[in-house]
Every structure is written in C-alpha cells, then in structure tokens.
Amino acid sequence: MRLFLGLIIIVMMFSNCDTPHKQSAIQKSVISESVINQTIGTIRNNHPNADAIRIEKGVKHVASLWWPEDGDEETFKNFCIERFIADDAQLKEFFERVSMHLETLFGHLNLMALHLQKPIHLKFGEVLPIDVAFGGYNAGAHLMEDLYSNKIAFYIALNFPYYSLNEKELSGQNWSREQWAYARLGDVFTSRVPAAILQNYSQISTASELYISQYNIKAGKLLTDDGRTIFPDDMSLLAHWNLRDELKANYPEGEQGLEKQKMIYEVMKHIIRQTIPADVINNPNYQWAPFTNSVYKNGETVNLQSEPDTRYQKIIDNFNALRQMDAYTPLDTYIRRNFEGSMEIAQPEVEALFIEYLSSSLLKEVGSLISERLGRPLQPFDIWYDGFKARSSINEEVLSEQTRRLYPDAEAYEKDIANLLVKLGYEKERANYLAERITVEPARGSGHAWGAAMRGMQSYLRTRVPDNGMDYKGYNIAMHELGHNVEQTISLYDLDYYMMSGVPNTAFTEALAFIFQKRDLNLLGIGGTNPQEEALRSLDLIWATYEVMGVSLLDMRVWKWLYENPKATANQLKYKTIELANEIWNDFYAPVYGINDEPILAIYSHMISYPLYLSAYAYGNVIEFQLEEFLRNRAFANEVDRVFSLGRLTPNHWMQQAVGSNIDIQPLLNAGAKALPEVKSN
C-alpha cells in the first residue's frame, strides 16, 4: 500500500474539483459580483492580448477564496490588477520559481512527517505517549493558512486558476505537457481549511493507524474446542493483513489447513462483531478458544471484557474530523473529495462499475471451478482462494526458509533491490539508479511505501521483518511495496515538470505494485512451467477483483450512511456495518457461495485507518490487467519507465497515452471467460 501523509495529502485531498466554488457563511468570501466583473474588465483592458478565459477564471477563483481578513473589495481589486501576469515568458518563469519553492516546502514537510512517525511505523520497541503526540503533529498544518495570509496562494491562484475534472477531460487531450503542468499548479489552491482542523485530522489519523498497527492476534495461543494449539507458538498475525495471508497460506495443507482457516475466520468474526476479548489483542499471556470465546490463563478459565467497539469508534473519529473540512472545500463531503477530487472519478460511476462487475455471471462459474478444485463447498473465507497462483502448491514454510536465508534483515533486501530490478529486465545502470533512491526499513505494521516529495530524497519501503528474518509474507508485501517505490521514483525523478509528479490516483500505483508482487516467485527462481499459467493468472485476478470490489462497496456505503446519520454511536455503526456487509454478501456473494449473511467483508483494516482507500485496489486490479496485457511481448522495464513518467494526467488521459484505451472491466471479464474452459479441461 502506498502511504500518503504530511502536506501532500492535505493539499491534494481537496484538488481537482468538478463543481463551482460555493459561497457559505463559513467560507466567508466577501467579494461582490459587481467588483469581480469590474476587476475582470480592468485586467482585460490593461492586457487586451491576454487570454480572456484565464483572466476570468483567475479572478473568480481568487474571489471565492478571499476572506474579510484578506482586505476589503478595493484591496482585492487592486491585488488582482497588479498581480496578474499577462506575458507568457514571465508567466513561465513565475511557474518555474513557484514549482521550485513548492517542491522545497512539500519535500521537507514530507520528510518531517516521515521522521516524526518513525516510532509508530517502525520496530522501535514500545510506542510511548510522546511518540503518539509527535506522530500526530502535522508540521504543515499551518502552511496553507500562511500562504493565504501572505497572499502567495492568491498570487498563484490568480495566474493559474483551477480547471474542473470535466474541463480537464474535454480539453486535456489537446493540452501540451506545459499546459497540464499549469493546470496541476491550479489544483493546489482550491480550498481553505483552517489549520486547527487539519491538525485535528492528523492526530486522529495517526491514532487510528497506531491502533491498527498494533492489532496483533497471537495465533500460537489460539485453542481448538478440544484444547489443541494448531499454529506455531510464536506466530503473531496482524489484523487483517496477516490473518488473511495466513489463511491463504493454508490452502495446500488439505484438512489440516482447512481447520486453521476456519479458526482464522472465527477470529475475524469476533473482531468484526467486537466480541473479541480486549486483553487477548497483542497479548501472549492468555490462551483464547475463538469458537467458544473462552479465555484461559495458566490453564484456568478467566473472564475478560470484550473490546468496547473501539474499531467503529475509530471510523467515527475519522468521519468527524474529515467532515469538519466539508464547509471549507468546493466538494462538500469527504466522499466527493476522495472520488471526484483525489481519484478524479465520480463516486456513483465507481459504484456502478463495481456493481456491474459483481453482477457478472462469470463469477458463479469461477466459484464452481474453485469448489471443484477444493473438493468441498465454498466457505466465506474462500474470497481469498489462492489456488490459481503458482505458489498455491508450495508449502509457505518452504518459501519462508528461502526468504529468511536471502533476507535476514531489511538491509539485505535493500542491497538486493538492484539485482531484483535487473531480473525484471532493467539494465544494470538503470537498476542501480532506481535502487539508490529506495531505503528499506522493518515495519511495525504490515508495511507500506512512503514516497519522496522532493528530488534528492529517498522513497521508503517498509515491511515486516521478524527477528529470524523476512518470511514469505513479508517478502510478498515487500515486492508489492517495491512496485510502489519504483513508481514513486520514476514519477518524481523522471518527470519534465514537478507539478506533474505522481500518478492520476492511487489505483495506478496499486496496479504497478500488483504487477511487481505477482512476479515474486520468479524473482526467487521459482519459474512457472504450467502451460495454463496465463489462464490461471486471469482467473486469479478475476477472483481477487471480486473480493476487493465487494469490500470497497461496503466502505462506500458505510460512509454514505455516516453522512446520513452523523450523530451515530460506535455501537450503532457496528450493527449497521455488519448489516451492510451482510446485504452486499447476500446480493453478490450468496449466489456464488450458496450461503447467506456472512460479515467477512467488514474485516478490512483500511476502513479504520485509511478511509475510502479500498476502491484504489479494485480500480488498480482493472488497470493492472490492462497494463499486463499491454506489457506482454514488450520490453517490461522500458514500458514501465515510459508509462509512469506520464505523471499526473487524469485517469483516462493517462490510460490512453499508456496503453491506448480507456479504463474498462470488459477485457478482464473476457479473459476470464476464455480462461475457464482451458483450466476446466485440465
């Protein structure tokens, strides 16, 4: 997962808005329509050869952000007249200087956030209260406020007005790279959120992340109904990531593996329903029998209180913090900001696409094939069926022995990155160039990739590295994060304009992360010899997309319900989340699985610590397939470099330039339909 923290998320969270700026008492814009028109008229008279549309958009944009403390209407008018840049050469020079200064600010603020959160993200021993306080401190919270106060923001907004998503879609295909970069600078100042609100969200977001990063289940202390332990004594599984990955790892183990999978799912249901005894979380001092929800200490039964709906309170805390920003932003809910703003795709469009996919009759056929391969009816946790992958027939401990030997610590993996990139097709010099800009560190949680925001600084790869070396789960995550880091490096260092750095949205970086991750065995020297490999790969992606689209749908519907019920308690949210999870299951999964009312879709930790991020994975799967199809029979490294140096175009413009087509689910479904008979005939 790519981690967006610090100022970058604050700035871009409110970007790329597709509606006019609204006026409200809270936004406090005080410039009258007559003064706006007078100002536009004066600038046009002063600069008759200047772009009239740019003048109008710039003045109106500044007016929408101007508050009483910025000056009266005469001050506004004089500011715009004096600060408008009509000459193209001067405008370009201004743009280059602004880009340089913003890179300095964003880069160093990003670096400060990275270092302040080290004790929370890395294996630093116990997290102290002072670590949480510093981790929740946002050094950039006041930056935007300062840039408005000293009128730098207005100076930039006047000369680089923002273009709506609709305008970008209609005009962007005819824009030069410079025009795109100008438009992206216009995206920076589209809202004016008070620093106290930004700081509050930073603290709450950090607290949610810490809660999740320490939510370990001591699997070696789990008991069957007859008192047996079935996992290694020292096994610690982070919810939900490691629980899911351990469940996947047990498919090759037959009945013994099925017993473990059923126990893991029972644990998941306790987490979802908050019936898990609070003191067994991240605590090896108790033994817990999930099926009876009984707890033992030193062989004696003990009574422990359940976790007090903390999981759902964290969601509410994030909701309340983000909702405080609504009145200060052009897109008036976090849902709209996340989709129309950050993703640059409208939420109803995303939901409709997901429902279309989840309703495909192909999924029932794939489910029947999986049931045949397992030799049993499908279980709810088979949303994570892993049997189409090459590793599915390999005992994970065998893989872990190899990865521990190769990577006894994070440093060993870092030293091997250039070698891994060469194996992926990069020339040695280019591989070294990329590898030198990536630092690997051992994560406290499941892992993430933290990109640089300034050239000259590193991207960071974090994954779990136990004391006895990197196990296969950690290695698999590391390969995913390496994909992010490669994207982060290319889309920062290899861009023609800093303001174009990045990708259209997080789905695009997830796509490359998936592409790297699925090559993990090849890089271990375990090559595929199965003639059905391509067909199996298509079915694997079909099934993975089925799982994550349902989870994403739940994430969206939970947030819609919260906006309809803003005063909901954690307990009310818990029951509604489970109800919505069951509804989605019954609509789209029960027809395939033959069982109703399963809450498994509610287990994802992203819902607590990364609000509305899950849709990026689902979109990422669709983009991944189209990229993989394009990359086939082409020079992998050269094409990865090319497409990720396109930078932050809108999603469809990026896809058109990258692979020659728009984002579309049909190619993936068509590939699945073609793959099914081939795999069945085996």
Q: What is the mean pLDDT of residues 514-537?
A: 85
Whether residues 413 and 434 share a domain: the answer is yes
Whether residues 428 and 462 share a domain: the answer is yes
- Whether the link from the prior residue into 653 is cis, omega within 30° of 0, is no
The total number of structural domains in the chain stands at 4
At 285 the pLDDT is 96
**Rounded Cα gap, residues 634 and 236, in angstroms:** 42
Q: What is the mean pLDDT of residues 641-658?
A: 95
Angle at 327 between CA 323 and CA 328, to 5 degrees: 105
At 138 the pLDDT is 84
Residue 560 exposure: Cα atoms within 13 Å on the Cβ side: 11
Residue 210 lies in a domain: no
At 8 the pLDDT is 41
Task: Answer yes or no: is pLDDT of 176 > 80.
Answer: yes
Whether residues 15 and 135 share a domain: the answer is yes
Whether residues 373 and 419 share a domain: the answer is no
At 10 the pLDDT is 40
Whether residues 22 and 112 share a domain: the answer is yes
At 211 the pLDDT is 94
What is the tens place of the pLDDT at every residue in 36-76? 999 999 999 999 999 999 999 999 999 999 999 999 999 99
What is the tens place of the pLDDT at every residue in 557-578? 999 999 999 999 999 999 999 9
Residue 560 lies in a domain: yes
Residue 572 lies in a domain: yes
What is the tens place of the pLDDT at every residue in 251-265? 989 999 999 999 999
Measured in Å, how far apart are the chain's first and last C-alpha atoms? 35
At 203 the pLDDT is 92
Pairwise pLDDT comparison (523 vs 445), residue with the higher score: 523
Whether residues 635 and 496 share a domain: the answer is no
Whether residues 22 and 161 share a domain: the answer is yes
Whether residues 222 and 356 share a domain: the answer is no
Residue 198 lies in a domain: no
At 132 the pLDDT is 85
Range of the domain at 108: 2-193
**Rounded Cα gap, residues 56 and 318, in angstroms:** 37
Q: Is the distance from CB of 37 to CB of 362 less than 8 angstroms?
A: no
At 20 the pLDDT is 36
Whether residues 379 and 454 share a domain: the answer is no
Confidence band, pLDDT 50/70/90 cuts, at residue 28 = low
Question: Which residues 6+ apart lie within 8 Å of 655 measured at CB?
Answer: 623, 626, 661, 662, 663
Residue 94 lies in a domain: yes
Bridge pairing between strands 300-302 and 294-297? antiparallel
Closest-CA residue to 95 (of 176, 157, 19, 185): 185
What is the tens place of the pLDDT at every residue in 183-206? 999 999 988 888 889 889 999 998
Closest-CA residue to 654 (of 181, 16, 172): 172
At 530 the pLDDT is 67
The structure tokens 């999930």 sit at: 290
At 17 the pLDDT is 37
**Rounded Cα gap, residues 502 and 65, in angstroms:** 26
Task: Answer yes or no: is pLDDT of 295 > 60.
Answer: yes
What is the tens place of the pLDDT at every residue in 386-433? 988 766 667 888 999 999 999 999 999 999 999 999 999 999 999 999
At 259 the pLDDT is 97
Q: What is the mean pLDDT of residues 91-97?
A: 98
Closest-CA residue to 2 (of 486, 388, 366): 486
What is the tens place of the pLDDT at every residue in 334-366? 999 999 988 999 999 999 999 999 999 999 999
Task: Answer yes or no: is pLDDT of 19 > 50.
Answer: no
Is residue 623 packed enough to be buried (19+ CB in 10 Å), middle (13-18) or exposed (0-12)? buried
Residue 517 lies in a domain: no
Residue 134 lies in a domain: yes
Task: Answer yes or no: is pLDDT of 455 > 50.
Answer: yes
Which range, of 494-503, 545-554, 565-574, 614-623, averages the lowest pLDDT? 614-623
At 129 the pLDDT is 86
Whether residues 482 and 580 share a domain: the answer is no
Whether residues 425 and 351 share a domain: the answer is no
Amino acid symbol at 530 = N
Which range, of 222-236, 304-318, 516-530, averages the lowest pLDDT? 516-530
The string of DSSP codes covering 70-100 is G--HHHHHHHHHHH----HHHHHHHHHHHHH
Residue 199 lies in a domain: no
Q: Does the reported pTM lie above 0.85?
A: no
**Rounded Cα gap, residues 208 and 358, in angstroms:** 30
Average pLDDT, the chain: 91
Whether residues 221 and 282 share a domain: the answer is yes
Q: Alpha carbon 664 to chain centroid distance?
A: 20
- Using CA atoms of 385, 391, 392, 394 in order, give the dihedral in degrees to the nearest 10: -150
